[in-house]
Each structure stands twice: as structure tokens, then as C-alpha cells.
Amino acid sequence: MNRICELRKQNKLTQKALAEKLQVDQSAVSYWECGRAFPDTQKQIMLADLFGVSIDYVLGRDVPKGIPPGSLPPAGEQLVFVQPPVAPPPAPAAPSRTIKVYSSLNAYQFSSGSGEVVQTLDIPEDWQGEYYGILMRGDSMAPRYLDGDVIIIRRQTVCENGQDAYVFIGQQEGTLKKVFLDFNRSVTLKPINQAYRTLYFSEREIAALPLVIAGVAVELRRKIV
């Protein structure tokens, strides 16, 4: 634990006053004192100079017990050093399993597993069911899903009304759309981006094409550039 709060109070300074001397925001001093952040090297030097102590003392590192900062013990006196607490080891990573991410899929590639794999991803091991990833193309589902996003799909042949599902329309490449099941057993595929048209399929068209639900979107993975 650092000694910034202790030193500040010993010198009768408020957090605001100390912040002004260091040319930082008061919230930075508050974060330093509660251990939520640490001053950079320049601020460590300024703190040490301001309080007349070493940087090690400011940061709470090995300091002789009972000896004022900046002074030496009497000759022959034994030094007793206080060791900083040892941080516990990091928790082990949660078990995971790997899934394939495809650039695109049509119905044949989906059933045969022959699509182009562009990468693999880890998902939690305790997720129930079978999963795969699809690389989002275009902006028909913007702003929720953007071009280049990876959509993790849970493989299933049915979905609930209004869910985002990966759908095959005949032999075309699959498409991610919001699926609405109508009372007359027709299906509506709706994009989020209103610049694209909504698709309607009657019960007869669904059987003839066929129109097949290949899974529902469960998670989005996006790279931050």
C-alpha cells in the first residue's frame, strides 16, 4: 500500500492542494491513495521531492520499521525491514473449447462442413450445444452488427419470433436477419438497416426453396482498431 495519503496528511495538505502542486486532477490523487491507480514516474519523483522522502517510501516498498523517512538508524542498530504483501497468484483461466469461424456458408457447405475457415475462437466450455462463427459481410444488420464482426451462432433449426438467425434461402449464401414467424405459417426476414428491403416467404416458398434456419446469434466478437 502506498503512503501518499499518510504523507499528505502529515504535511497538512488536502487532496485538492496536493493535486494543484502536482498539476493533476484531484480524482487522480484520490485514485492513488485508494490504490485504484498509481502515479507515473514523473509524479513519483515530484511526490518524493515534495515530502522529502525516497520514491520507495512513497510507494510503500521495503522501509526500516520505526525509522523516520530520510534518516539513518543509530550505529549498531539492527534494521528490520517490512516486506510488502505478496499478491495472490492469478486465478486459472476458465475451461474453453474452440469453434471454427467461416467467411460464409451455403446450405451444402453447412451440412458437409466444407466452408472456408478464416479463424478459430474459444468459447466457454460450459456452453450447451454446438456452435460456429460467421464473418459478417455488409451492413444490412447495422448498427448492431458491422462488416467484419464475428457472429457466434448456436446451431439449431428453430428460433423464437424476432430472434437474429442465420438463414439459408435455397442455395444462396446464408444471411443473418431478424426472423418473424407469421400466423399463416409464412416467414419474414427483416434487416435492421432500413436501407435494405424486408423479405417475405409463404409456406409454399419455404418448402420449395427451401428456407432453412441454421442457428441463432448468441454473441458478437468485434476487433477494436
For residue range 104-116, what is the model confidence (pLDDT) as tens digits?
A: 999 999 999 899 9
Q: What is the distance between the alpha carbons of residues 101 and 121, in angstroms, rounded to a whole number?
A: 7
| 181-195 pLDDT, tens digit each | 988 889 999 999 999
Identity at 69, one-letter amino acid code: P
Q: What is the distance between the alpha carbons of residues 184 and 220, in angstroms, rounded to a whole number?
A: 32
Where is 97: in which H helix or E strand? strand 96-102
Report, as an integer, the average pLDDT of 76-92.
63
Q: Which three cell numbers stand for residue 39?
A: 502515479
> 4-82: which CATH topology?
434 Repressor (Amino-terminal Domain) (1.10.260)
Q: Which residue has the higher pLDDT, 29 or 110?
A: 110
Interior/surface letters 107-140, b for 16+ CB within 10 angstroms, e for the rest: bebbeeeebeeeeebebeeeeeeebbbbbbeeeb
pTM: 0.59
pLDDT at 56 exceeding the cut of 70: yes
Report, as an integer, the average pLDDT of 97-126.
93
Pairing of strands 96-102, 131-135: parallel
The fraction of the chain above a pLDDT of 90, given in percent, is 52
Domain assignments of the chain as residue spans, ordered by start: 4-82, 97-221
Phi, psi of 88 (to 5 degrees): -65, 155
User: For the domain 97-221, what is the CATH code?
Assistant: 2.10.109.10
Residue 24 has a CB neighbour count (10 Å cut-off) of 17
Q: CA dist 34 to 5, 14, 52, 179, 185, Å?
A: 9, 15, 22, 50, 61
Q: If we measure between CA atoms, which residue out of 38, 15, 39 comes closest to residue 26? A: 15
- State the pLDDT at residue 190: 96
Q: What is the distance between the alpha carbons of residues 106 and 169, in angstroms, rounded to a whole number?
A: 9
